[in-house]
C-alpha cells in the first residue's frame, strides 16, 4: 500500500483518505472511516517496524502485549484494545487512530477519553499516540486543541507522511 504513495500514484494522503470516505456519514457505513484510517496507519507502522527491526501488534490487548514482549500493561478497563502497540526494544508505544468525516459529540467524548488514557498510560512509562484526522474536527476544534495541549503526541495524516511517527518511535521519544 505504501507503494502508491512512494511512486506518487497518490500525492496527498489526506486527499486520498477523504476520497475513500465519501458518504461515510450514513449509518450503514458507520465505521468505514475508522477502518480506513487504521489501514492507512498500519501501512506506516508496518514500514517503520520493517525498516528498523521493531515489532508491532494490531488490536493490542494487555494479554497480547504480555505474551509478545513480556511487558505488563495496566489498562483502565478490561475491554481495552489499542489499534496498535509498537515496541522498539526500549519503550512501548500504544496507538489509537480514528477519522471523523462529520462533527458531533463523539469527537468531544473521544478527546476527553484520550486525555485520561494518556495520563493513565504515562504513569507506567509507556507512550500514547493518538492519530486522528478528518473534516469533523473543523466544527469541534476546541476539544481537539485541549487534548493537543494535554497529551504528548497527537498526530494527523500530514504528520505521518512527514515522518513524525517514525521519528518518535525510532528516536525513543
Cα-Cα end-to-end distance for the chain: 27
- Report all structural domains of the chain as residue ranges with CATH numbers, in order of start: 3-170 (3.40.1350.10)
Region of poorest pLDDT, from 34-43, 115-124, 163-172: 34-43
- In this predicted model, what pLDDT tens digit does every residue of 12-68 receive, in sequence order? 666 555 554 444 444 444 455 557 889 999 999 999 999 999 999 999 999 999 999
Average pLDDT over residues 137-147: 80
3-state secondary structure at position 137: helix
How far apart, in whole angstroms, are the C-alpha atoms of residue 16 and residue 28? Answer: 21
Q: What pLDDT sits at residue 110?
A: 85
How far apart, in whole angstroms, are the C-alpha atoms of residue 6 and residue 147? Answer: 31
What pTM does this model have? 0.78
Cα-only R_g, the chain: 16
Beta strand pairing call for 55-60 and 92-99: unpaired
Does the structure show a pLDDT above 90 at 143? no
Q: What pLDDT sits at residue 107?
A: 79
Backbone angles phi, psi at 59, to 5 degrees: 55, 55
Residue-averaged pLDDT of the chain: 83
- Using a pLDDT cut of 90, give the percent of the chain over it: 51
Amino acid at each position: 500500500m505504501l507503494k502508491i504513495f512512494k511512486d506518487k500514484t497518490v500525492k496527498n494522503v489526506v486527499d486520498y483518505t477523504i476520497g475513500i470516505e465519501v458518504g461515510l456519514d450514513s449509518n450503514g457505513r458507520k465505521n468505514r472511516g475508522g477502518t480506513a484510517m487504521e489501514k492507512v496507519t498500519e501501512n506506516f507502522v508496518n514500514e517503520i517496524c520493517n525498516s528498523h527491526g521493531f515489532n508491532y501488534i494490531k488490536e493490542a490487548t494487555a494479554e497480547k502485549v504480555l505474551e509478545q514482549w513480556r511487558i505488563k500493561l495496566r489498562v483502565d478497563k478490561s475491554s481495552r484494545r489499542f489499534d496498535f502497540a509498537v515496541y522498539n526494544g526500549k519503550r512501548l508505544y500504544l496507538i489509537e487512530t480514528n477519522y471523523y468525516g462529520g462533527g458531533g459529540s463523539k469527537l468531544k467524548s473521544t478527546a476527553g477519553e484520550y486525555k485520561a488514557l494518556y495520563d493513565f498510560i504515562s504513569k507506567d512509562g509507556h507512550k500514547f499516540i493518538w492519530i486522528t484526522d478528518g473534516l469533523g474536527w473543523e466544527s469541534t476544534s476546541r476539544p481537539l486543541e485541549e487534548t493537543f495541549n494535554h497529551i504528548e503526541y497527537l498526530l494527523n495524516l500530514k504528520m505521518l507522511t512527514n515522518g513524525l511517527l517514525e521519528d518518535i518511535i525510532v528516536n525513543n521519544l
